[in-house]
Amino acid sequence: MVAIIRHFLYNKTQMNEEIREKEEDLPMISHEKLEAFICQYPVYQYAFFSPEEIEFSYRVRWICEKECQRFNTTWACPPAVGSVEECKHRCLAYKECFLFSTIAEVTDVINFEETLSTRKEHENITAAIEQFINSQGSQCMALSTESCDICVICTYPSVPCRFPGKMHPCVESYGIIVSELAEKYHLDFTLSPTQILWFGIIFIK
């Protein structure tokens, strides 16, 4: 019986390794194919780069903890997303990043309530890009704006997330400073007092 179990475990391990090797051999979605897809959406600017080029900052996490009301209240924010080191490890498992922005028109960017009300379209675009990448045989992980608002009341921390496949953690929750990435890749970070830029990052492999 022990020999049978060992043989089963060996075959299962070997099968998992073969599946993983096949997944690694799959071609990642091309820039051209992704660029052609996003043409149907109001994507303002974008850049491709390696996750290795991202600087993961603990000071962003400190701001989350000290200044953000969503801290420790949702699965999309710290501490639920894990430590900065865990987030970094998760990101580095991917081969490429797709950073993009969309524009929303407001009467005044200082009006926080009005500004937040415009992020829904950006979230929908993020979800559409994510679904397209997955449909092309690539794997991806999306980080988006602010905090998840799919549910009126998050199940955190007592019950697992209801929609883990739709929930997009906040970019900053991973210790990523969007303004620095925008500057590094020559993307606008601010426009005018009546225009807000929303950012998202999709990790692809």
Please write down the HEC assignment for all residues of 61-112: HHHHHHHCCCCCCCCCCCCCCCCHHHHHHHHCCCCEEEEEEEEEECCCCCCH
| Domain extents in the chain | 29-204
Percent of the chain with pLDDT over 70: 87
Q: How far apart are CA 132 and CA 61, in angstroms?
A: 31
Q: What is the pLDDT of residues 86-132, one digit of tens each?
A: 999 999 999 999 999 999 999 998 898 898 889 999 999 999 999 99
Calpha distance 172→59 (Å, rounded): 10
More confident of the two residues 74 and 4: 74
Confidence of residue 25 (pLDDT cuts 50, 70, 90): low
Helix (H) or strand (E) holding 142: strand 140-143
Q: Is the pLDDT of residue 1 over 50?
A: no
> Is the Cβ–Cβ distance between 178 and 185 less than 8 Å?
no
User: How large is the average pLDDT for residues 163-186?
Assistant: 94
Token couple for 196: 């807000």
156 secondary structure, DSSP code? T
- pTM, two decimals, is 0.84
